[in-house]
């Protein structure tokens, strides 16, 4: 399982831009290495100092207890409140009148909230929830569009000690129901609807269907956003704007033990029910705070935009908790990146003066396909730092991002992490790290990461293996909700004593980490185990290819064969000469062994609503079988239908 051949080579290196390091929070390799060494060798000293930069209600007496492996406990004895960290401290440190949120709806409506105004709104929201019987220890499902009330709902739950379980607003009623039932949620916060690609998503309708017959759900609080007609159940349903009428704008934050549950966030595997990932208060907040501060080099005058949805862990850590704990000004946007026109993101960057921009490689490749003329219409000179998240980025997309969006002047932080890790694990530091296109570079503080085989033996330079974490870190998951054994089996059983992330990776001769994709996505061709990500990267580096997804299909001779699904530019003619051209390009880039046996050209690839390619479905298409797994998260069913009927 662990022996993965690495065939991708990348030699370009980009040092931090001149002048950036002098102003950066961490500005030298020596400083990084000293801090990193301390975080690994003296974690109590390092993390104790960092944690005390946050306001605690009661101080902790023990930084880490890992006596009951794999269950770690951080900052024992300490009490704090995540909402107070994000809001209350800024009322007295000079940021009360600083803008906390700049929000824009898809139709173009605008709202801004200072830290003082956001604090008042969250307190009213919290008091409205308490008036409906929501209390400390309850679980609350949140199913909303990307509107300011979504952030308020998250912080209001944290303020009163109720754990939130945010479900992405694009999920189906059944997916919502599964998560409500598993988490034992007793209240749901939603909206009548939300705008997406010029249409109204009827969220309240989905909630009604999802909780049909669930008598334990006593409250559905509904934010009025799109004013579409909704069904109503008196006694259970309440309008948010009516619930906050006349309530106090003061609500004392509930003292929470460091290991008290902050939130559940569900992540689905290829089989089985979704896993409710458990994150607790103290360690998670410390990790989100520090990584936001250093990875994005946050400065007092930054305007920071993470384009994720709060329904994903990226939105939890790097829209809400991390940036607000640092007192940042954040941008939130409700709609799709290409609505009402293909340059919408760049229009917003110019309009709001965005300085730090964090988005997904899938979005970047989409923008590449749409053409450079769209960002060229907008002034992007305010940008000083770019970031990527969600999956490994291929080098050519990285280079396009640097050149077209960053004007060859902005460092790129290519981050690797997961729902389970809670925060960024591998990343450049923008004032420190010479970056290589496609590499997540170095480990963040406290992350003891290694490339191992199944026996725990460390692989040599450029040998692909299992990406493992050998020591606990503050923001790590504390378990799977209601299933202790599954937690052990899924994350701690492959390599003894280590957390296995599920990803394959290699570490090059300079100590840089390169993510090679899920080990499930490795293709075994004639005894050679090849990373699908590397083959995809080679294909996308060809000027005619916009996006690719590579999967394995059964082959009688080689065991498995490489099947590539490819989208090309609008003016490109698809014929046998193109197939030959691409095959030879892959052979030249990474070797003849990696040439696809089959190429299928398509207008689009099946993706989740968060933009990730659903390779599991493509494997079924390549093998000619019907998909038995969950397809409720697919964004456009017509894409899958066309692929299934495609005989090219």
* H or E segment to which residue 173 belongs: helix 173-183
Total H helices, total E strands in the chain: 21, 30
Backbone phi and psi for residue 234, each to the nearest 5 degrees, phi listed first:
-60, 140
- pLDDT tens digits for range 451-471: 999 899 999 998 989 999 999
* CA-closest candidate to residue 8, choices 613, 599, 558, 506: 506
- In terms of Cβ atoms closer than 10 Å to its own Cβ (0-12, 13-18, 19+), residue 214 is middle
pLDDT of residue 528: 64
Please state whether beta strands 545-555 and 559-568 pair in parallel, antiparallel, or not at all (unpaired).
antiparallel
Sequential DSSP letters for 105-161 = -TTS-EEEEEHHHHHHHHHHHHHHHHHTT--TT-EEEEE--SSHHHHHHHHHHHHHT
| Neighbouring residues of 434: CB distance < 8 A, sequence distance ≥ 6 | 13, 14, 15, 16
- Say if residues 385 and 297 touch (Cβ distance below 8 Å): yes
Count CB neighbours of 25 within 10 A.
16
- Say if residues 85 and 325 touch (Cβ distance below 8 Å): yes
Mind listing the domains of the chain with CATH numbers? 526-644 (3.30.300.30)
- In terms of Cβ atoms closer than 10 Å to its own Cβ (0-12, 13-18, 19+), residue 39 is buried
- Three-state SS sequence of 447-507: CCEEEECCCCCECCCCCEEEEEECCCCCCCCCEECCCHHHHHHHHCCCCCCCEEEEEEEEE
| Neighbouring residues of 405: CB distance < 8 A, sequence distance ≥ 6 | 346, 357, 367, 375, 380, 383, 386
Contacts 24+ apart (CB under 8 A), 56-59: 56/80, 57/81, 57/84, 57/253, 57/255, 58/255
In the block, residue with structure tokens 């929000």 = 103
pLDDT of residue 349: 98
- pLDDT tens digits for range 543-563: 899 889 898 888 776 668 889
Instruction: Report the predicted TM-score, pTM, of the whole model to 2 decimal places.
Output: 0.86
Q: How far apart are CA 62 and CA 522, in angstroms?
A: 42
- pLDDT tens digits for range 157-174: 999 999 999 998 888 888
* CA-closest candidate to residue 324, choices 334, 312, 332, 335: 332
**Is the predicted pLDDT of residue 270 greater than 50, yes or no?**
no
Mean pLDDT of 393-413: 95
Confidence of residue 6 (pLDDT cuts 50, 70, 90): low
- pLDDT tens digits for range 98-152: 999 999 999 999 999 999 999 999 999 999 999 999 999 999 999 999 999 999 9
Mean pLDDT of 478-505: 93
Better-scored residue on pLDDT, 270 or 161: 161
- Say if residues 183 and 265 touch (Cβ distance below 8 Å): no
Beta bridge partners of 190: 143, 222
| Neighbouring residues of 119: CB distance < 8 A, sequence distance ≥ 6 | 87, 88, 90, 91
Q: How far apart are CA 101 and CA 94, in angstroms?
A: 16
């Amino acid at each position: 399982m662990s022996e993965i051949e690495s065939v991708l080579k990348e030699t370009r290196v980009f040092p931090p831009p001149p002048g950036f390091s002098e102003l950066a929070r961490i500005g030298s390799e020596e400083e990084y290495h000293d801090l990193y060494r301390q975080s690994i060798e003296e974690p109590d000293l390092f993390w104790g100092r960092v944690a005390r930069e946050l306001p605690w209600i009661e101080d902790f007496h023990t930084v880490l207890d890992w006596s009951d492996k794999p269950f770690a406990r951080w900052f024992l004895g300490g009490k704090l409140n995540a909402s107070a960290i994000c809001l209350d401290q800024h009322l007295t440190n000079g940021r009360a009148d600083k803008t906390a949120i700049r929000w824009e709806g898809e139709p173009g409506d605008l709202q801004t909230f200072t830290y003082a105004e956001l604090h008042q709104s969250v307190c009213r929201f919290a008091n409205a929830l308490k008036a409906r019987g929501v209390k400390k220890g309850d679980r609350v499902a949140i199913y909303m569009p990307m509107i300011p009330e979504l952030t308020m709902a998250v912080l209001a739950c944290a303020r009163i000690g109720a754990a939130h379980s945010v479900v992405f607003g694009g999920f189906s009623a059944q997916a919502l129901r599964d998560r409500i039932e598993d988490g034992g949620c007793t209240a749901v916060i939603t909206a009548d609807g939300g705008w997406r690609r010029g249409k109204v998503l009827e969220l309240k309708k989905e909630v009604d269907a999802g909780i049909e017959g669930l008598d334990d759900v006593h409250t559905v609080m509904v934010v009025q956003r799109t004013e579409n007609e909704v069904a109503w159940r008196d006694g259970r349903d309440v309008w948010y704007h009516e619930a906050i009428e006349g309530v106090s704008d003061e609500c004392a934050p509930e003292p929470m033990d460091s290991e008290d549950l902050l939130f559940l966030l569900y992540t689905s595997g290829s089989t089985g029910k979704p896993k409710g990932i458990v994150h607790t208060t103290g360690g998670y907040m410390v990790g989100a705070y520090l990584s936001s501060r250093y990875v994005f080099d946050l400065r007092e005058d930054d305007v920071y935009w993470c384009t994720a949805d709060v329904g994903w862990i990226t939105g939890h850590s790097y829209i809400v908790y991390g940036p607000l704990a640092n007192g940042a000004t954040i941008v939130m946007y409700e709609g799709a990146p290409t609505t009402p026109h293909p340059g919408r993101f760049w229009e917003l960057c110019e309009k709001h003066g965005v300085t730090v921009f964090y988005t997904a490689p899938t979005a970047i490749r989409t923008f590449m396909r749409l053409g450079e003329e769209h960002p060229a219409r907008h002034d992007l000179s305010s940008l000083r730092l770019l970031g990527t998240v969600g999956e490994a980025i291929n080098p050519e997309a990285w280079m396009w991002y640097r050149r077209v969006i960053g004007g060859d002047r902005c460092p790129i932080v290519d981050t690797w992490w997961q729902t389970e890790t809670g925060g960024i694990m591998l990343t450049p530091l923008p004032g420190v790290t010479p970056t290589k296109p496609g590499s997540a570079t170095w480990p963040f503080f406290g992350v003891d990461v290694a490339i191992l085989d199944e026996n725990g033996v460390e692989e040599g330079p450029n040998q692909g293996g299992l990406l493992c974490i050998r020591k606990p870190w503050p923001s790590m998951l504390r378990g799977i909700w209601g299933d202790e054994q599954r937690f052990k089996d899924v994350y701690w059983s492959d390599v003894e004593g280590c957390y296995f992330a599920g990803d394959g990776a290699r570490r090059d001769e300079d100590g840089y980490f390169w993510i090679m994709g899920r080990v499930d996505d490795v293709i075994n061709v004639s005894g050679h185990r090849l990373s699908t990500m590397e083959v995809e990267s080679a294909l996308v580096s060809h000027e005619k290819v916009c996006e690719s997804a590579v999967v394995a299909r059964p082959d009688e001779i080689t065991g498995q064969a490489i099947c590539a699904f490819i989208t090309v530019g609008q003016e490109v003619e698809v014929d046998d000469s193109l197939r030959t051209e691409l095959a030879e390009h892959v052979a030249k880039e990474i070797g003849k062994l990696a040439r696809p046996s089959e190429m299928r050209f398509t207008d689009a690839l099946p993706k989740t609503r968060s933009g990730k390619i659903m390779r599991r479905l493509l494997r079924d298409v390549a093998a000619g079988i019907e998909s038995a797994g969950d397809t409720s998260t697919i964004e456009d069913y017509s894409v899958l239908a066309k692929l299934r009927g495609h005989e090219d």
